[in-house]
Amino acid sequence: MIQGYGLPVFPGVAIGSSVVYRKAQRSLPVSCGEPAVEQAKFDAARETAREQLTALFEKAKVDIGEEQAAIMEVQLLMLEDLDYLDAVAAAIQGGEAAAIAALDCGEEFAQVFAAMDDEYMNARSADIRDMSHRIYDILCGNTGFQLPEGSFLLVAEDLAPSETIQLPRERILAFVTRQGSSSSHTAILARTLNIPSLVQSDIPLDVAEDCQVLAVDGFTGTWYADPDEETMKLLLEKQAQAAASRQALEAYRGKESISKSGKKVLLCANIGCAEDAVAAIAADAEGVGLMRSEFLYLGRDTLPTEDELFEAYKKVAEIMGHRPVVIRTLDIGADKQVSYMGLEQEENPALGLRGLRICLTREEIFRPQLRAIYRASAYGNLSMMFPMVASVWELKAAKALCARYRAELEAEGVATKDVPIGVMVETPAAAVLAEELAKEAAFFSVGTNDLTQYTLAVDRQNAKLGQFYDPYHPALLALLGHIAKAANDAGIWAGICGELGADPKMTETFLKMGYTELSMAPGRILEARKLVCESEV
C-alpha cells in the first residue's frame, strides 16, 4: 500500500480502478536522430494518425451523425496539407526531432489560422492543433486518454474545463489532481457531481497508473494505492456511514428553507448544462442561482449558434418549471479558454479580457447569447446576470444591448418575457459601488471565488497560495456585509453563488447579513436546508 495526501474538495469515499490522464507535454524528453530517420518516423506517425482518424470518423458518424463527424474529416484533410508537411520537413532538415517539428509547426499554423479574419478559418486552428498533437503523441508513445469500461477514479496533473467537459461524468468516482485549488473548476465539477475529490495531491502519476485499486478518502484528504486489508475495511465502513448521513438528510427534502425566527432563504443550485438541471431537481433545489453558461462554449470548435443556445436555455427553463433560473452570461477568459474565439495570449489572464469585457467588445458573441436568453424566457422563469462587472457604465451598456436585442426579437414577432437583470458581484470595485449598482440592478449574486481572488490579490488557481486564499478574511467579510446592506436598502435581493455559499460555517452569518438566496452544488442543498431550519437567526 502507498498513501499520500491532497486538499479534499468534497467529502466521501471512493474506491475503484484508476485512469491517468496525461496531456501532450512539450517538455517530455524526445530523442533526435539523423534527419532522414526523423522524417521516416514522422511519415510513419502520419500514417498511424490517418488510421486513427479514419476509425474515429466512422465511429463518430454512427454516434453523433455525419454533420458533426465532419470535424474528423477536416483533420484527415489537414494531414495532407502540403504547407504543413513542407514546414515539418524543413524543421527536421534543420535538426529538429520529428515530434517537436510536428508540434511546433502545428502551433505556428494554428496561430496563423486563429488570426485570420474569417470565423470558419479561425475554428480550423483547433483542428490543426489537435492533429499535430495526435502526431506528437504517437511519436512520443503517449497513449492519451484510454478510458476503461465502467467507472473509475480519474488522476491527472491538472484538468482544464475544456478537458473535464469531455469526460463521461456518470462513470467518474473521484478526481485526484496534483494541481488545482478548492475553487478551481475541477473542484466545482466534483461538487456538482457529488464525488469525493482531492486537488493539490502528492500522488505520483506512475503510482496511480500501476496500482490495481485506488481509494480516496475525501474526509481526511488521503489517497491509498492498493490499500491493505485493514485500511480497506475502514474505508468501506466510512463509505457506509457517509451513505447513512446522506439518508438522514432526506428528512429535509420538500421542506421550506426557513430559520426558527422565520427568515426565508432560497436554496438554489449551480449548474453548467441541462443535465445538471435534472440533478438540481433531484437534489430538491428551489431554483438555479448560477448557470455557468460558458460550459456551452467549451469543448467544441466553433461558437454555438443562437439556436443551439436557445435550445439549451429552453431545456433548463422547462426542467426547472416555475422555479427561478439565473443565467450568468458568458464568462470565458482566465482559466476557461477556447481557441476558436481567437483571443490573444495574455500576461495576466485573470485581469484580462474576460467575462463581460469580451461580450461588450464582441457583438457577434453577445448578440446570439442575449437573443437566445430572451427567446427562452417564454418557457420558464429566467433572470440573467453579468460576470466581472467593475463599473456602472458596463452594466448600463450591457442593459442597453439587452433592450436592443429584445426589441429586435419583438419586431420579428418572437414572444419574450421580462428578464430581471442582475450583477454578479465579484470585483472589489463592484462591491464598493454596491449602492450605485443597486439602482440599476434587479439583484446581486456574489461570486465569492473571484471576489476572494481579487480582494486579496491571490490567484485562485495557484496551488502554492492555498494558505493566503482566505475566504473568511475580514476584508472580504466587510465587503459581503456591505453588499447585502446595499441590496436590502435598495429593496433588491442578494445571494451568494461562489463556493462559500455552501460553507456550513457561513450559513448563519449570511442570514444575519441579509442574504436571502444561497446557490451551491446540488449535493449540498439538503445539508444547507438543515442548517437554515436549525438556525435561531
- CB of residue 524 to ligand PEP, shortest distance in Å: 14
Which CB, 38 or 294, lies closer to Mg ion? 294
127 touches ligand PEP (CB under 6 A): no
| Cβ atoms of 369 and 304 closer than 8 Å | no
Q: Is 326 helix (H, G, I), strand (E, B) or coil?
A: strand
> Pick from Mg ion, ligand PEP, none: which does 369 bind, CB < 5 to 8 A by kind?
none
> Pick from Mg ion, ligand PEP, none: which does 498 bind, CB < 5 to 8 A by kind?
ligand PEP
Which CB, 303 or 385, lies closer to ligand PEP? 385
| Cβ atoms of 218 and 238 closer than 8 Å | no
Which CB, 185 or 375, lies closer to ligand PEP? 185
- CB of residue 150 to Mg ion, shortest distance in Å: 35
> Pick from ligand PEP, Mg ion, none: which does 186 bind, CB < 5 to 8 A by kind?
none
130 touches ligand PEP (CB under 6 A): no
| Cβ atoms of 358 and 365 closer than 8 Å | yes
- CB of residue 281 to ligand PEP, shortest distance in Å: 21
| Cβ atoms of 446 and 497 closer than 8 Å | yes
- CB of residue 305 to ligand PEP, shortest distance in Å: 23
CA dist 129 and 62 (Å) reads 25
| Cβ atoms of 290 and 382 closer than 8 Å | no
Contact stretch for ligand PEP (CB under 6 A) within 23-31, 274-282, 445-453, 521-529: 445-453
Among 185, 211, 268, 273, the one annotated catalytic: 185
Active site residue 105: no
381 touches ligand PEP (CB under 6 A): no
In degrees to the nearest 10, what's the CA dihedral of 109, 115, 120, 124? 20
181 touches ligand PEP (CB under 6 A): no
Site for ligand PEP in 311-340 (CB under 6 A): 331
* Helix H or strand E segment including 325: strand 324-328
218 touches ligand PEP (CB under 6 A): no
What sign for the dihedral angle of Cα 310, 316, 152, 158? positive
State how beta strands 222-225 and 2-5 pair.
Answer: antiparallel
> Pick from ligand PEP, Mg ion, none: which does 448 bind, CB < 5 to 8 A by kind?
ligand PEP
Contact stretch for ligand PEP (CB under 6 A) within 40-48, 159-167, 246-254, 443-451: 443-451
Active site residue 473: no
Contact stretch for ligand PEP (CB under 6 A) within 68-76, 149-157, 447-455, 485-493: 447-455
Phi and psi at residue 410, to the nearest 5°? -60, -40
Site for ligand PEP in 4-33 (CB under 6 A): none
CA dist 373 and 479 (Å) reads 30
Contact stretch for ligand PEP (CB under 6 A) within 80-88, 197-205, 394-402, 442-450: 442-450
Helices (H), 285-340: 306-320
450 touches ligand PEP (CB under 6 A): yes
Which CB, 107 or 459, lies closer to Mg ion? 459
Q: Which of 133, 178, 292, 315 binds ligand PEP (CB under 6 A)?
A: 292
What residues have CB less than 8 Å from 460, skipping those under 6 apart?
A: 181, 183, 184, 350, 449, 450, 452, 453, 469
Q: Which residue is nearest to Mg ion (CB)?
A: 450
CB atoms within 10 A of CB 393: 10
Pick the closest to residue 192 from 292, 119, 123 (CA basis). 292
Which CB, 274 or 497, lies closer to ligand PEP? 497
- CB of residue 449 to ligand PEP, shortest distance in Å: 3
> Pick from ligand PEP, Mg ion, none: which does 71 bind, CB < 5 to 8 A by kind?
none
503 touches ligand PEP (CB under 6 A): no
517 touches ligand PEP (CB under 6 A): no
State how beta strands 7-10 and 197-199 pair.
Answer: antiparallel
Which CB, 339 or 445, lies closer to ligand PEP? 445
Pick the closest to residue 453 from 424, 428, 479 (CA basis). 428
- CB of residue 290 to ligand PEP, shortest distance in Å: 6
CA dist 105 and 86 (Å) reads 10
- Binding residues (CB under 5 A) for Mg ion: these are 426, 447, 450
| Cβ atoms of 417 and 382 closer than 8 Å | yes
Among 211, 273, 402, 497, the one annotated catalytic: 497
449 touches ligand PEP (CB under 6 A): yes
For residue 67, give the C-alpha cell: 454533420
What residues have CB less than 8 Å from 452, skipping those under 6 apart?
A: 183, 458, 460, 469, 470, 471, 473, 476, 498, 500
498 touches ligand PEP (CB under 6 A): yes
* Matching residue, cell 485581469: 351
Q: Which of 192, 339, 427, 448 binds ligand PEP (CB under 6 A)?
A: 448
Q: Which residues are catalytic, by number? A: 185, 497
Residues that bind ligand PEP (CB under 6 A): 290, 292, 331, 426, 447-450, 497-498
